[in-house]
């Protein structure tokens, strides 16, 4: 069976994934630890993406070239940009754009030179099966994060959003920058630092790609006092629960 690549953005998420693999073996490539094992009987390779577009692109390329993965699923956190996209919600990416790509006037702003496009779509079928898993987990949030986290982070009415995610090599943490991103890319629901790079690598190789991002902050002046706590208490639990649910019911 062709292995599935699982990329986590944060250490805490990868640690939660590794706990679910009974038989993982570490293989080092390009200074990264890749973990080969099985989850619900399916072969997987789990790895930390590392932060930023170049690091994530190298990780994705190694997953495809060295480990022969047939699909890649990414889980991580992101800042909410769209209205109503709040902390604790999840965004299923339909596609990605690099908000810091600008080779104008030679190419239109955001267009990746020589690709003739600015957006890299995710795989429709893979995303559909992840959608079911994400919905199932969000319907029972307290079972996965516990009632304390539900009240601490106000997770009573969390939602799954779907649409465009913007990626760039910047942690967006001022209201001014958040506003200018919202103006430049009004469709973008969330902002993070890796997805567009992985989407581009997967497009180059023809490997199906899907991504789920838990909203950890609103990419504004409050982003973010409790970032690490949120990742530990909420985001990493969502990720492992959604991946587990997805692998159980492919
Ligand atoms: N303090 C963190 C740094 C994380 S960098 C640490 O100690 O590791 C931010 C990570 O979260 C990246 O993987 C990025 O994709 C995502 N992210 C969350 N909120 C973001 C925001 N507002 N802007 C950009 N990336 C964000």
71-126 tens-digit pLDDT = 999 999 999 999 999 999 999 999 999 999 999 999 999 999 999 999 999 999 99
Q: Which atom of ligand 1 is nearest to the CA of 173?
A: 22
6 CA → ligand 1 middle, Å: 18
Distance (Å, rounded) from C-alpha 170 to C-alpha 220?
13
Are the beta carbons of 250 and 129 closer than 8 angstroms?
Answer: yes
Distance (Å, rounded) from C-alpha 66 to C-alpha 123?
22
Distance (Å, rounded) from C-alpha 93 to C-alpha 195?
9
Inform me whether the pLDDT recorded for 228 exceeds 90.
no
- 52 in ligand 1 pocket by Cβ < 6 Å? no
Please state the pTM of the whole predicted model.
0.96
> So what's the pLDDT on residue 250?
64
36 CA → ligand 1 middle, Å: 26
Distance (Å, rounded) from C-alpha 97 to C-alpha 110?
7
Q: Which atom of ligand 1 is nearest to the CA of 11?
A: 8
- 7 in ligand 1 pocket by Cβ < 6 Å? no
CB under 8 A, 24+ apart: contacts of 26-33: 27/67, 29/62, 29/66, 30/58, 30/59, 30/62, 32/58, 32/59, 32/62
pLDDT band at 45; cut points 50, 70, 90: very high
- Render pLDDT for 168-189 as a digit per residue (tens, 0 to 9): 999 999 999 999 999 999 999 9
52 CA → ligand 1 middle, Å: 9
Inform me whether the pLDDT recorded for 224 exceeds 70.
no
Rounded to the nearest integer, the mean pLDDT of the chain is 96
- 194 in ligand 1 pocket by Cβ < 6 Å? yes
Instruction: List the one residue out of 139, 138, 157 whose CA is nearest residue 84.
Output: 157
Which of 171, 190, 211, 239 is the pocket-test mutation for ligand 1 (most atoms within 8 Å of CB)? 171
Active site (catalytic) residues: 13, 217
pLDDT band at 225; cut points 50, 70, 90: low
Inform me whether the pLDDT recorded for 226 exceeds 90.
no
Which burial class, exposed, middle or buried, applies to 32 when counting CB atoms under 10 A from its CB (0-12, 13-18, 19+)? Answer: middle
- 171 in ligand 1 pocket by Cβ < 6 Å? yes
Domains identified in the chain and CATH numbers? 76-248 (3.40.50.1580)
Inform me whether the pLDDT recorded for 56 exceeds 80.
yes
- 219 in ligand 1 pocket by Cβ < 6 Å? yes
- 196 in ligand 1 pocket by Cβ < 6 Å? no
Match 């190789």 to its residue by tokens. Answer: 205
Instruction: List the one residue out of 144, 13, 153, 160 whose CA is nearest residue 87.
Output: 153
Q: Which atom of ligand 1 is nearest to the CA of 195?
A: 15
């Amino acid at each position: 069976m062709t292995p599935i690549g699982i990329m986590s953005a944060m250490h805490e998420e990868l640690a939660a994934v590794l706990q679910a693999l009974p038989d993982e073996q570490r293989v080092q490539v390009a200074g990264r630890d890749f973990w080969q094992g099985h989850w619900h009987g399916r072969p997987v390779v789990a790895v930390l993406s590392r932060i930023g577009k170049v690091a994530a692109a190298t990780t994705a390329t190694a997953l495809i070239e060295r480990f022969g993965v047939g699909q890649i699923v990414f889980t991580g956190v992101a800042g909410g940009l769209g209205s109503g996209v709040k902390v604790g919600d999840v965004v299923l990416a339909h596609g990605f754009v690099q908000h810091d790509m600008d080779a104008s006037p030679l190419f239109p702003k955001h267009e990746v030179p020589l690709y003739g496009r600015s957006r890299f779509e995710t795989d429709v079928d893979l995303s559909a099966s992840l959608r079911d898993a994400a919905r199932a987990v969000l319907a029972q949030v307290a079972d996965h994060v516990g009632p304390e986290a539900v009240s601490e982070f106000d997770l009573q009415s969390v939602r799954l959003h779907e649409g465009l995610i913007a990626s760039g090599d910047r942690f967006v943490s001022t209201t001014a920058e958040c506003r200018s991103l919202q103006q430049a890319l009004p469709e973008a629901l969330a902002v993070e630092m890796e997805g567009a790079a992985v989407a581009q690598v997967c497009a180059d190789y023809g490997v199906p790609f899907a991504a789920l991002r838990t909203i950890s902050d609103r990419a504004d002046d409050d982003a973010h006092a409790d970032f690490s706590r949120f990742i530990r208490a909420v985001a990493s639990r969502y990720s492992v629960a959604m991946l587990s649910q997805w692998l159980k019911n492919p």
